[in-house]
Amino acid sequence: MDLDLDGRVVAGGGIGRAIALLLASLRARVFVADRSREGLATLSAAYPDICTWEVDLVDRAAAARWIVDVEQAAQTPIAVLVNNAGGSLGQVPRDLTEISHADWDSIVDINLNAAFALSGAMVPGM
């Protein structure tokens, strides 16, 4: 497979640290969003060519704003969006009947709604 990402703008983050590093090794311009300031600081210190933003992607407006910010910083539309934000938000496995609606909503927000907001925000640049 010939994957030419030289200079292309790529956005992703969170558990995608390995993905970000791989894409950076392919000379992509990588922009990462995460709500963990500490994780971003560690990534920035080790890989200064990767641009990082502290963003809570559950906040749909903040997620959409991040896409605009990346495209403005890069001065070009994003070519690849890695929608890998997600997980269980620290929740432990338990019976379905023990999961509150609020806990369920938080999982849906980060796993589905964030991807929807980010993807929708990219439409104008496509």
Give 31-60 pLDDT, tens digit per residue. Answer: 999 888 888 888 889 899 999 999 999 999
Residue 15 pLDDT:
65
- Say whether pLDDT at 86 is over 90: no
pLDDT band at 9 (very low <50, low <70, confident <90, very high): low
pTM to 2 decimals?
0.82
Structure tokens at 119: 């993807």
- With left for phi above 0 and alpha for psi between -120 and 50, is residue 115 left, alpha or beta? alpha
Least confident of 41-45, 84-88, 107-111: 84-88
What are the angstrom distances between the C-alpha of 107 and each of 17, 87, 88, 110?
Answer: 20, 7, 6, 6
> Cα(37)–Cα(45) distance, rounded to whole angstroms?
12
